[in-house]
Structure 1
Amino acid sequence: MSLQLRCLYTHRYSLALVVTTLLLAAASGVSDAAMNITAVLGHSVTFRCPSNHSKHVERLYIQRVTNDKEDMYINGFSNGREIPGKGYQSRTKVNTMDYSMEMRNISVGDEGSYICVFVFVDKAYKPEISEIFLKVTAEYSVPTITPDCSEHRRGVSGTGMSCHLSCSAVGGYPQSTVRWAGLNPSLTNIFYNWSLAHNDSKTWTINQTIMYNCDQPTNVSCAVGGTVSHTITICQTESFPLRVIAAIAFVVVFVLLLIFVVVMKCYFRRPQTSGTQEHTN
């Protein structure tokens, strides 16, 4: 490896140590409140480091803050030259004019706290540190709602319906819960509740099954995160129950059969008048 490349790598990987030193030396320059920004999974987001533009900036360092590890250098610039950190060369781009950084192809792992460290040309000014918190979101798929209803007796009041309703959605972040619309909470019991975070994407699959008792048509929908399922109708009472139709059909067939038997009996019992008259003549 050439001397020039060695110097370049040494400069890049020593930035974390430089910034750590700056943090210790400039604790009084830390801003009080963190700036919150939100990014959509797979999209891009821009970190805008707040600064007093009346001061000429010599260097800007943007770092990822972690609790159990040393802060990770992401990107920055020195004397107008961009210096991307290891692993972020293709994902980040610093704007030296407005002190911002674009991060592309956002993943759930990018969520967390970041700091911007400004070092000014005029050393009379202490380095300034501001904090930015990145929140990552991902929309869940449109929930799938599946009913499974059966009839049951409800004491002397008659019959009703008992329905198992399942609602599931995938691909969302952060973890969410199922919310039901159109149901009476006093008639609802949670039968099954299940959530899973996928190893690679860290997105969630949410599934819930409830049992609901009703005796009249009810419109139901479910929501997970910000997405809502289509509306279905459960506990619909048939306008003319199948049992009644079957009973009527049986009666009609029986009556027709009875009429047929009576007619046939009458036909065969009818006197043979034409044969008697021929014999007399």
Structure 2
Amino acid sequence: MKGFIFQRGFLSAFVVVFHLVLPLLASSENTNINRTRGAAALWLCHHNLSEPFQPAESRIYWQGQGDSNIVVHVYNKGQEEFQTQSETFRNRTKIFPDQLPLGNLSLVIEPVKLGDDRTSSEVVFMSSRTEKVCQWTLYVAAPFQVPKIEIDPTKMTATCSTQGGYPKPEITWKSRDTSQASERTLEPHEVQTSVTLEEDGTYNISSRVNFTESVKSVSCHVYNPTSNQTVSATRDTTDPPPPVSSHTEAIVVAVVAIVIAAIIVSLAVWTYVCCRRRNENGSNTPHWRMASRGLLFYLLCAPVMAQKPVSATVGGSVLIPCSLNLSVHPTRLRFYWQEDDSEKVLFFWDKNGTEGPRAEQYRNRCRAFNTEFSSGNVSIRLDNVNMEDDQKTIWVSAALLDKNNRPVKDFRKECKSTLQVVAPYQGPVLTINKATNTVTCTAHGGYPEPQVSWTGLNKSSAAPLNLQEAQTSSEQNPRDKTYTVTSTVSVKDLKSVTCKVRNPRSNESIEETTKIGVEQLGLSSGAVAGIVIAVVVLIAVGAVAAFHKKHPEVFGQRNNQVCCCQYKVAQQEERNDEEADAAERIELEEQG
């Protein structure tokens, strides 16, 4: 419903803005406009007319520059012509005919598509003379998903993957060494990146780097040059958690959906059976129907009822809903949104169809949907949410006027809402201290102050343990008001620990797990190999000693056999010596 209200009110809201703003603008050339796929692109164009506008004698073309044959929109002799419009822009363009006499030649393209990227256009105004004004180039972006980093400890590689974005991004890798306090940006020759163009025009990115044993963590940064946005991820190289496949995620979602459906059906059946029994006992009122409708209403409307407080993310937009019990023409309605504890006005609507003054901090940030006023919908949308908006309570006051502009019905401080601003945390990053047998968890960039919890696995048990003796501290950045949280816990006698950082306002959690092995606790691979060999030797010696103790006769018989053999060998050697001496004497006697 929110998206429906916004689409219907978007174009109408700009009409009011043009009355106030466009006369102050001068036509500009070669204007670059950056927009996100699916959004609306407003091409602002104001032309100073040298003579009164004559619709029947005027032709206006919004078209491609130079040799381009693109026709975005056509206004010819008092009416719009769509048959000459390029196919790609059909049903996506809108001008403001009632504003043309004022020189407002602005155009809206909605929704923006990836195919519109780098479209260069201009306005050709033809009356008594031909003029080209308001050249512009549209650049389109699609946001990339938050990247995922996979670690291969065998090959010692880190792979960063993301998708769904446009245009081609710039990939930057950074690594943090155990002996360095700051990060090092990897050189281009150290990075291997592959880019795949998908069928929908977006890009799939896979980037890989190698790391050494001294690298503690790596981070991947994906920068979109059109939207000027960067998404990033950081991963500790010592403990890569196994990624969850999309197939597994689909199974989990399906199971949850089946369980929810089963609960709803069970409640409906139970209500039907109970209430029907009541009818059979003498009640004439069809309670089961009322109960079923009430149950259905509750199931469908329960998420909508909890509208206050209103949660908003930093940098995003939030709809502040309000529907008054009235049906009136907009020319008989006057209302304004205001802060509860001050006189600062967010939005003011006068009966004559104009927007009134508002506080400077809300200028160009609030929009209403005047096509919905007749049904009592006076909701507003607040853009570019920032930390200063946090915990502000706002309300709307409205008046229904008669023909003499006298109020016949007043609404005072309706739809009171409190804004609760959140910012997602990044990280966490786990750092192992070998000297103190501790692990430190760090997360940053979030708001409000988070809740940090630790769990661990004991070496002798598979059951997770809640670690309560962590030392946690938070520091708030005075510039952007976000928090950096640091928490340290002892890992003695543990084989792994998990740090969980929870945003109490958005109820979103991020976590990281690391294993506590012998290498993490300060032993090198050579030392580990030596210990293993020594243990094997000791086990072998112990086994031989135990066998000797249990079967001494075996070793005794073998020793006797050895001694006997040695004695026989000695006797044979002695006989050989005697025979050699006798042969030598005989030879000497023969010679004499």
What TM-score results when the alignment is normalised by the length of structure 2? 0.31
Shift in Å at residue 223 of structure 1? 2.6
- Name the counterpart of 1:113: 393
> Any idea what SS the aligned residue of 2:337 has?
strand
- Name the counterpart of 2:567: none
- Name the counterpart of 2:531: 244
> Any idea what SS the aligned residue of 2:408 has?
coil
When structure 1 is superposed on structure 2, of 129-138 and 117-126 the one drifting more is 117-126
When structure 1 is superposed on structure 2, of 137-146 and 57-66 the one drifting more is 57-66
For residues 127 and 50 of structure 1, the distance between their equivalents in structure 2, rounded to whole angstroms, comes to: 11
Amino acid of the residue matched to residue 59 of structure 1? R
Shift in Å at residue 241 of structure 1? 3.8
For residues 221 and 196 of structure 1, the distance between their equivalents in structure 2, rounded to whole angstroms, comes to: 18
For residues 52 and 100 of structure 1, the distance between their equivalents in structure 2, rounded to whole angstroms, comes to: 13
Alignment of 1:132-143 (within 5 A): 132-143=417-428
Of 65, 73, 77, the match for 2:349 = 77
For residues 343 and 530 of structure 2, the distance between their equivalents in structure 1, rounded to whole angstroms, comes to: 73
Q: Is the 8 A contact 1:182 1:220 kept in 2?
A: yes
Bigger proportion of residues as helix: 2
Amino acid of the residue matched to residue 209 of structure 1? T
Of all paired residues, the percent bearing the same amino acid is: 24
Q: Is the 8 A contact 1:140 1:170 kept in 2?
A: yes
Greater than 3 Å deviation, 4+ residue runs: 235-243, 245-251
For residues 38 and 206 of structure 1, the distance between their equivalents in structure 2, rounded to whole angstroms, comes to: 22
For the aligned residue pairs, the C-alpha RMSD in angstroms reads 3.4
Of 181, 184, 203, the match for 2:482 = 203
- Name the counterpart of 2:443: 169
Shift in Å at residue 34 of structure 1? 7.8
For residues 422 and 515 of structure 2, the distance between their equivalents in structure 1, rounded to whole angstroms, comes to: 32
Q: 1:118 to 1:245 in 2, by over 3 A?
A: same
Amino acid of the residue matched to residue 393 of structure 2? S
1:223 aligns with 2:501: yes
Q: Is the 8 A contact 2:395 2:413 kept in 1?
A: yes
Q: Is the 8 A contact 1:167 1:178 kept in 2?
A: no
Shift in Å at residue 116 of structure 1? 0.5
Q: 5+ unaligned residues in a row in structure 2: which ranges? A: 1-19, 21-305, 458-464, 539-587
State the Cα deviation string for residues 126-179 of structure 1 (Å, max 9, x = none). 3332111111111100211112245xxxxxxxxxxx631111111111111212
Comparing both chains, which one has the higher relative contact order based on Cα–Cα distances under 8 Å and sequence gaps of 6 or more?
Answer: 1
For residues 58 and 81 of structure 1, the distance between their equivalents in structure 2, rounded to whole angstroms, comes to: 11
Shift in Å at residue 35 of structure 1? 3.4
For residues 399 and 418 of structure 2, the distance between their equivalents in structure 1, rounded to whole angstroms, comes to: 21
State the Cα deviation string for residues 10-35 of structure 1 (Å, max 9, x = none). xxxxxxxxxxxxxxxxxxxxxxx983
Q: Is the 8 A contact 1:180 1:223 kept in 2?
A: no
For residues 139 and 44 of structure 1, the distance between their equivalents in structure 2, rounded to whole angstroms, comes to: 15
State the Cα deviation string for residues 247-270 of structure 1 (Å, max 9, x = none). 58999xxxxxxxxxxxxxxxxxxx
Q: Is the 8 A contact 2:348 2:355 kept in 1?
A: yes
When structure 1 is superposed on structure 2, of 195-204 and 54-63 the one drifting more is 54-63
For residues 536 and 307 of structure 2, the distance between their equivalents in structure 1, rounded to whole angstroms, comes to: 76
Q: Is the 8 A contact 1:179 1:223 kept in 2?
A: yes
- Name the counterpart of 1:259: none
For residues 228 and 178 of structure 1, the distance between their equivalents in structure 2, rounded to whole angstroms, comes to: 10
Q: Is the 8 A contact 1:220 1:234 kept in 2?
A: no
Aligned residues: 205
Q: 1:118 to 1:166 in 2, by over 3 A?
A: same
For residues 188 and 36 of structure 1, the distance between their equivalents in structure 2, rounded to whole angstroms, comes to: 32
For residues 202 and 209 of structure 1, the distance between their equivalents in structure 2, rounded to whole angstroms, comes to: 23
Bigger proportion of residues as strand: 1
Q: 1:212 to 1:247 in 2, by over 3 A?
A: closer
> Any idea what SS the aligned residue of 2:384 has?
coil
Shift in Å at residue 64 of structure 1? 1.3
> Any idea what SS the aligned residue of 1:171 has?
strand
Q: 1:209 to 1:48 in 2, by over 3 A?
A: same
1:178 aligns with 2:452: yes
Q: Is the 8 A contact 1:145 1:229 kept in 2?
A: no
Amino acid of the residue matched to residue 501 of structure 2? A
Q: 1:77 to 1:210 in 2, by over 3 A?
A: same
Of 311, 315, 328, the match for 1:38 = 311
Q: 1:144 to 1:84 in 2, by over 3 A?
A: farther
Shift in Å at residue 219 of structure 1? 4.6
Of 129, 132, 152, the match for 2:413 = 129
1:189 aligns with 2:469: yes
Shift in Å at residue 211 of structure 1? 1.7
State the Cα deviation string for residues 193-249 of structure 1 (Å, max 9, x = none). 2211212221111111122321x5235343342242332111459999445257589
Q: Is the 8 A contact 2:447 2:483 kept in 1?
A: yes
- Name the counterpart of 2:514: 232
- Name the counterpart of 1:260: none
Amino acid of the residue matched to residue 75 of structure 1? F
State the Cα deviation string for residues 71-128 of structure 1 (Å, max 9, x = none). 3111120112112413122222222333122211100111220011111114332333
Q: 5+ unaligned residues in a row in structure 1: which ranges? A: 1-7, 9-32, 151-161, 252-279
Q: Is the 8 A contact 1:65 1:114 kept in 2?
A: yes
Q: Is the 8 A contact 1:188 1:213 kept in 2?
A: no
Q: 1:208 to 1:147 in 2, by over 3 A?
A: same
Amino acid of the residue matched to residue 129 of structure 1? K
- Name the counterpart of 2:378: 99
For residues 54 and 84 of structure 1, the distance between their equivalents in structure 2, rounded to whole angstroms, comes to: 25
> Any idea what SS the aligned residue of 1:115 has?
strand
Alignment of 1:40-59 (within 5 A): 40-55=313-328, 58-59=333-334
What TM-score results when the alignment is normalised by the length of structure 1? 0.62
